[in-house]
Every structure is written in C-alpha cells, then in structure tokens.
Amino acid sequence: MISAKATEAHLWIGGEWRPAADGAMFDVIDPATGQVTARVANAGEKDVSIAVAIAEEAFADRRWLSIPPLERGRILRRIAELIRQHHYELAQLMTRENGMPMNQALFIEIPLAADCFDFFASLVVQPQGDVLPFSVAGSAPDYVAWTVKEPIGVAGLITPWNFPLLMPTWKIAPALAAGCTMVLKPAPETPLTALKLAEICHEAGVPEGVVNVLPGLDEAGKALVRHPGVPKIAFTGETETGRHILQAAAPHIKRVTLELGGKSPNIIFADADLEQAAKSALFGVFYNSGQVCQAGSRILVEQPIYEEFVVKLADRAKKLKVGPGTDARSDLGPVISREQYDKVLRYIDIGKQEGAKLVAGGSALDGLGGGYFIEPTVFADVSPSMCIAREEIFGPVAAVIPFQDEEEAVRIANDTIYGLAAAVWTNDIKRALRLAQRVKSGTVWINTYQVLSPTAPFGGYKQSGLGRELGMQALEPYMETKTIICDINERPMTLF
C-alpha cells in the first residue's frame, strides 16, 4: 500500500504489487533536500511484456467493457470521490516527489484531477456513433448505415513529472471511459503518486489488469512504445522525445497522441488592466516553478506601458517566497532535479551573455537545505531572437519582450516552433478576437492565463503536439470507428 510516508514501492500489475523481474530498483529524490526519499522497482522490457499481456487478456475477456455503462460511470465517479478523500495524502506524496507547494497541490492539481474523472464518467453513457444517410448509385434506396465506436485495445500511457497526479489522470480517465485497458509508465522522478492513483482505481472497482502502472527508467518507456500489443500511445513530455516516439511507433502504425513543449506568448496591450495583467503574468510563468508546458514564459508588452509593466512584474517576482513545499508560506518550491537545476541556471547565464537585462532573481538559493531552489527570474529588453525567448527552459524564468503594434505582436508570437498556448490582454474585444484567430496555438486565453477545465480540449499546434486531451475530443484517440451497412431491400443489389 502506498502511503504518504512510503519508502519502497513495487510495480502494479494485474491488481497486485510485484517486484521488477530482475529485482532492479531506482531512487526517488526529494527535490527540496536532494536526498533519497524512496526506492522503487525499476521496470524493464520483461516487465512491460508481462503487463501488456495481462492488459491484453483483460481487454479480450471484456472484464471492463462487460460492466454496464452506468456502473462504469459510477466507478469513475468513485475514483473522483476517493481522490478527494485522499487529498491530503496525495498532496504530501506530490510534494515529496515533485517539490510542489502543498497548498497548490491541494487547491489546484487535486481538484482538477477529481473533476477530470467526474467529466469522463459523464461521457461513458453519452451516445456514440451516428446514423448515416446512405445510398448506392443505380440501386434501390433501402439501406441502413451507422457507425459505432469501439475501444482500440491496450493503451500505453507515458507521463511527465511536473504534475504527478493530473497528467496520469488526463490519460487514464479517457482511456477508461473509452473502454480500453492500459499500461502507465510514469516519470521516474514521480512514481509514487501514480502508484497511489492505481490503488485508488482498484479500490473504486476497476477490475484487475485494466490499469497497470510500471515505474521505471528509459527502458520501460521504449519497450512500451515498441510493443506490438499496444496499438495506442499517449505521451506528454519534451518535443524531442515525442519525435523519437513517433519514429518508434511507425513500424506498427500505432495511433499516437503527443502533448509536447511550449514557449507560450502572453501578449499585453496598453489598454489592458495593468495590475491584473501583471498578477496573471506572474502566475502564468512562475506557477509550479515554471515547470508547466503552457507557461507564459514569453511576455510581450506594448511599448507605451513596457517600462511600467517591467517594474511591476519585477517587484512582484522579488516578493515571491521560495521554499520547501511543506511550508505553507512557499509560493515556489524547488525545481525537480539537479539536472533541471543546472539547465535553468545555464539558461540564466545565457540570457545575461545575450545582453538581456536581469531585473529580478537570477541566482540559485543554496541555503535552503540542499534542495534545487532558484529565484524567480525576470529578464527585460529581450530580443525575439535570443535563446531565452526561443527555447523551452521549463523553470522560473520570464522573458519580457517589447512590441510596437498588433502586427508586430502577432509576428513575434507566431515566430516559434511551438504552439501550445497564448494569451491576449486588452479591453478592445475586437482586437482580442482578431488575435485569438491569428495566433497559432491550441489554447488562447483572453484577459486570463492558465485556467483549464476537463470540458475544454487541450493540445498544441506545430511541434507542441498531436491530438487533444480533455474535452469530448479526448475519447477519439482511444477508439476505433466502425461503419455498419445493412441492405434492407427486398432484392439485394447484384452485379452478376
């Protein structure tokens, strides 16, 4: 059983705990201390084969699909309720693994995860498929045709470390709603939360073998993508890893959805509510220590208010408290790992070398117990061509870029390989709607930032991904469409 104080965990396969086939383990590090907080079984290729075989058997014998739809919906709602009941324990686990302040886990991530299961529970009993108008040239007209939706089979789910509960939820909930079985490979930095979610699914009534969770390093993820028994892969993570997944999935023509990186523009015009825009920009770039794929890390500000805005943002950033997630006063926790810590600091150095003006932060905080803490950092006078304006840093670093007019704002916003999210701040509704159409991204917020709902599809344009998560569209990648055509003419059509 996974508790908030668990120091060891195994694989969850077929409704039971199992050690890795070769007995291998790996360390989970608390990013607030840099110390080992747990040892977890390290799944390898053999474990993937075992888990996929069990998931295939569970799909073939229809142990999940044979449950009436109303009851499957009730099971998903029970998962939501159990998440709410275990909210404090889940928050403790997330803070141990991820460093996220507990207040943010309790008031943002956990409620969103529960709401996600509630939403997809409602879709289990929604009509699926269509009755089609159908005729055959030169034939009598009496045909009936319709489509049905069928689950694709075993889904391979690979999730990142930045939201240890929400990212698995975004995949498990629609996969269950669609009728799939699955093997989840969570990020090695944050396996405990995913394993706790598997326990919750089991407690809620999901049959054995339907949800399997394999913590592990790279080998497990690669084996899952390659496995011929897994027709569907859903991945959230870095764009470069997404490219490798597409290549590995190609031989079996797997269905792949990818939610990848971003360098999202937050565009602020001179007529916007400056106070609210500054507050929201702060949240947009520094929430979860900037480790958010849709973080508004490029803040585009119209020239007449540029200097004033920079001062407001820098002053607010300097007042944010950085500390352990267990401290209720912490606004930002640590970044996830030593590797990420070094990467973010390297980008801060690059920003200085490129000539950007450092107006807040810019340093590591080494006096906080050995963890991976970095000051909220704001660069001003950033050119769109600088590395810090083009590459995803995935840390608490904001790049503030001036622009002259609407045309330049659109040009800068779209000058990127990414297209995950964007925001427009203005009191001119026509301008807001024009930019919402012209900015190439999967989500555009108007006079807000980083608000999400399970009812609204989420995903990216360009190299920010393929497909959508959340919303009704999230079911499609987990389902096949079958067309059924019935000839009800007295004399069926014949050619011979």
Same domain, yes or no: 103 and 193: yes
Burial (Cβ within 10 Å: 0-12, 13-18, ≥19) of residue 33: middle
The bridge status of strand 255-259 relative to strand 465-466 is antiparallel
- 305 in a domain, yes or no? yes
Kind plus residue range of the DSSP H or E element containing 28: strand 25-30
252 and 271 part of one domain: no
154 and 228 in a single domain? The answer is yes
What is the pTM (predicted TM-score) of this model? 0.96
Hey, what are 209's tokens?
Answer: 């073998």
CA 190 to chain centre: 14
Check whether residue 351 and residue 380 sit in a common domain. yes
> Per-residue b/e over 185-204, b at no fewer than 16 CB within 10 Å?
bbbbbbbbbbbbbbbbbbeb
Please check whether residue 488 lies inside any domain of the structure.
no
Q: Are 248 and 222 in contact (CB under 8 A)?
A: yes
Residue position matching structure tokens 């949800």: 211
Helix (H) or strand (E) holding 232: strand 232-236
Instruction: Express each pLDDT in 377-415 by its tens digit.
Output: 999 999 999 999 999 999 999 999 999 999 999 999 999
Q: Are residues 226 and 372 in the same domain?
A: no
Predicted pLDDT at 367: 75
Residue 166 corresponds to which tokens in the numbers above? 């929400």
Selected catalytic residue, list 109, 189, 199, 259: 259
Q: Which residue, 269, 189, 260, 226, is CA-closest to 420?
A: 260
Mean pLDDT for all residues in the chain: 96
Pairing between β-strand 232-236 and β-strand 35-41 as defined by DSSP bridges: unpaired
Assess whether 305 and 348 both reside in one domain. Answer: yes
Q: Residue 488 is which amino acid?
A: I
Q: Is residue 206 a part of any domain in this protein?
A: yes
Q: Are the C-beta atoms of residues 345 and 361 closer than 8 Å to each other? A: no
- 81 given a catalytic annotation: no
Q: Is residue 493 a part of any domain in this protein?
A: no
DSSP 337-389: -HHHHHHHHHHHHHHHHHT-EEEE--SB-TTSTT---B--EEEES--TTSHHH
What is the extent of the structural domain holding 79?
A: 8-260+460-482
Residue 46 is assigned to a structural domain of this protein: yes
Domain assignment present for residue 112? The answer is: yes
If asked whether residues 245 and 330 sit together in one domain, one would say: no
Rounded CA-CA distance 245/247 in Å is 5
Ranges of the chain whose pLDDT falls below 50: none
**Number of compact structural domains in the chain:** 2
Reading the block at residue 112, the tokens are 């969103």
Angle, helix 166-178 to helix 110-123, in steps of 10 degrees: 10
User: What pLDDT sits at residue 495?
Assistant: 65
Q: Cα-Cα-Cα-Cα dihedral of 81, 85, 87, 93, to 10°?
A: -110
Residues 226 and 272 in one domain: no
CATH code where residue 296 lies: 3.40.309.10
On whether both 195 and 287 belong to a single domain, the answer is no
d(CA 300, CA 213): 41
Asked if residue 455 is part of any domain, the answer here is no
Q: State the pLDDT at residue 222.
A: 97
Q: Look at residue 190 in the predicted model and tell me its pLDDT.
A: 98
CA distances from 129 to 315, 378, 478 (A): 54, 50, 14
pLDDT digits (tens, 9 = 90+) for 190-229: 999 999 999 999 999 999 999 999 999 999 999 999 999 9
**pLDDT score for 368:** 81
pLDDT of residue 10: 98
Do 452 and 429 contact (CB within 8 A), yes or no?
no
Residues 219 and 302 reside in one and the same domain: no
| Structure-block tokens of residue 386 | 């600088």
